[in-house]
Structure 1
Amino acid sequence: MAELQIIPVPTRILTDADDIVDAIAYYAGAQVTADDLVCCAESVVAVTQGRFVRPEELTISAAAQFACRFIPDYGSLASPHGMQALMNVEGTWRVMAALFAGFLGKLIGKSGLFYQWGGKEAALIDDVTGTMPPFDKAVVYGPAEPAQVAARIAARVGAFGAMVADVNDLKRSRVVGVSDGVDGELAAKLLLDNPFGNASQKTPICIIKSYRQYQASHTA
């Protein structure tokens, strides 16, 4: 079986003037084969879709100031700006109800209810410093239609598949969108060491070489 390799792909800074599929074809296309899986950081996909807001554009409510106090310090919703951005798209009452449900869930030993009931953006929003400059000064939402984006990437570069992933340095890796035929949960485990570099590294794309064979051998 061919050797499994994860190759980070450097790019210039990508902005909302870019199309993520075109960018991946330009920077990574020559390295991709029909056996490979192309992965892209979800925050960069969202930036190219214009899905971000600058903190100074947000009006912080008392509800956001209150709710953010109950989020762990490392979370993107621990700041009033991150929490307000969530409330603006998911609704204040939904977020507050989810926060209360999360509190009750913890009393009976069940975690994660806030993120389960707070809307899809609850787990996807990146607060300031969460992505590549100059968008490290913006709150970035999750990408729109990530599965369709992944399908377009795979078709464009002729890969076995593509995945939009939410990965961080806390050993958390989650599938946001994946093309047909790819075992996203299996692939996500390969990204636990976070090969993406959204800061000075400018490597928001990575290629998992020979992933087709790897998946076949681990799902047979």
Structure 2
Amino acid sequence: MAELELLPIPTRILTNKDDIVEAIVEFAGPYIGPEDIVCVAESVVAITQGEFTRPEDLKVSWQAKFLNRFIHPDGSMASVYGMQAAMDKEGEWKMMFAFLCGAVAKVFKKPGVFYQMARTASLTDDVTGTMPPFDKCIVYGPKQPHAVADAIMKATGAYGACVADVNDLKRAAILGHSRGLKPQQIAQILIDNPFGNDSQMTPIVVIKNYASVSKRKG
């Protein structure tokens, strides 16, 4: 009887000169079956889309310096450059307003409002937040993740595909997925972070036998 299996797929370093769909077909194609789900790390998708910048190319504002004082050192915008990069995408005053709303919400024991309102901020990976050589860059969130997932599914013949944001703190979110998938269920399957964006170079994970296992349990 088929069981669920997480299969990390090794690749070479993927850059903005690569097409993420073509890369997945090249490296993961032989391992993907019609009952499988193909998952790819959001930072790698963003890199192949050119969604990154270098800290030295940013002009840091006083708003970024101010807000950065309140960010946890382990946060996705630990440096002032990460904060400024998010502000350049989201808007400095929108970020300030989101921060104010978040501070008020915390008084009423409702965390996470800042990142809900400033979505770009939650998807920005600061310096060292992704794999070399892009650990010297700030990487934004991917563009059109649902469309990317649909394209992956069609190109590979998989049961489904998703673009995932997962870390080692047992936080997992599905940013984009092909039709018919349950994002919260997929996020729970990936909660232990099977991806390896550093020296492991395994930014693709195939969830084997998902369709048959899901049907059996459903």
- Fold equivalence (TM over 0.5): yes
Q: Distance in 1 between matches of 2:153 and 2:202?
A: 18
Q: Is residue 158 of structure 1 aligned with residue 187 of structure 2?
A: no
Match of 1:112 in 2: 112
TM-score, with structure 1 as normaliser: 0.97
User: Which stretch of the first structure deviates more once superposed, 192-201 or 72-81?
Assistant: 72-81
TM-score, with structure 2 as normaliser: 0.98
C-alpha displacement at 1:182, in angstroms? 1.1
Match of 1:199 in 2: 198
Q: Distance in 2 between matches of 1:109 and 1:69?
A: 21
Paired letter, 1:49: Q
C-alpha displacement at 1:142, in angstroms? 0.4
* 1:18-73: CA deviation from partner (whole Å, max 9, x where unpaired): 00000000000011000000000000000000000011100111110110111111
> Once superposed, which parts of structure 1, at least 4 consecutive aligned residues long, lie more than 3 Å away?
none
Match of 1:65 in 2: 65
SS at 1:116 equivalent: helix
Q: Distance in 1 between matches of 2:111 and 2:215?
A: 34
Stretches of structure 2 lacking an aligned partner (at least 5 in a row): none
Match of 1:215 in 2: 214
Match of 1:56 in 2: 56
C-alpha displacement at 1:184, in angstroms? 1.4
The count of corresponding residues between Structure 1 and Structure 2 is 218
Match of 2:185 in 1: 186
Stretches of structure 1 lacking an aligned partner (at least 5 in a row): none
Q: Distance in 1 between matches of 2:215 and 2:50?
A: 37
Q: Distance in 2 between matches of 1:217 and 1:110?
A: 38
Match of 1:82 in 2: 82
SS at 1:77 equivalent: coil
C-alpha displacement at 1:2, in angstroms? 0.8
SS at 1:207 equivalent: strand
Q: Distance in 1 between matches of 2:165 and 2:216?
A: 25
C-alpha displacement at 1:213, in angstroms? 1.9
